Amino acid sequence: MFDPDDWWCCITSAERGLVFVTLTAFFTPEQYIIQTTFDGYWVAFTGKILYTEYFTYWLRTFGLTSRVVEISPTEFVAVYDLNPDVWSLLYLQTISDNAACGIPCPYISFPFNLP
């Protein structure tokens, strides 16, 4: 089961920031974020390049799936859908007592902190 309480403080503060800004898209009726917007957030928050194994792993773990949305009959845009099962738990984590990570990560290593 996806339980962010187990590992929330193991991801970097930059990745937690990325979760916070991505959550704004979760509260839209469509529950997606435009791919170029998320990609810009990714680079700005993590300082890492796009489309690496790490990036792909992060998308999969956090329930983001890519698709194309028709904006008009002649205009299409790539988006990431936010899995509601995952992002509702992430939202609850961000408003919990442990959102600021007063409790340190209990793991010696963690898969999100790959080089």
Least confident of 34-38, 54-58, 68-72: 54-58
SS3 72: strand
Domain ranges across the chain = 15-97
Q: What's the whole-number mean pLDDT along residues 9-36? A: 89
Q: Tell me how many degrees the CA angle 3-57-71 measures, rounded to the nearest 5.
A: 95
Q: How far apart are CA 50 and CA 45, in angstroms?
A: 12
pLDDT band at 2 (very low <50, low <70, confident <90, very high): low
Task: Give Cα 68 distance to the centre of its chain.
Answer: 19
Task: Report how far residue 41's alpha carbon sits from residue 30's, in angstroms, rounded to the nearest whole number.
Answer: 19
Structure tokens, 67: 């698709």
The pLDDT assigned to 53 comes to: 84
The pLDDT of 100-113, averaged and rounded, is 65
User: Picking from 23-32, 35-44, 73-82, 98-107, which range would have the lowest pLDDT averaged per residue?
Assistant: 98-107
Q: May I ask the CATH architecture of the domain 15-97?
A: Orthogonal Bundle (1.10)
pTM (predicted TM-score): 0.82
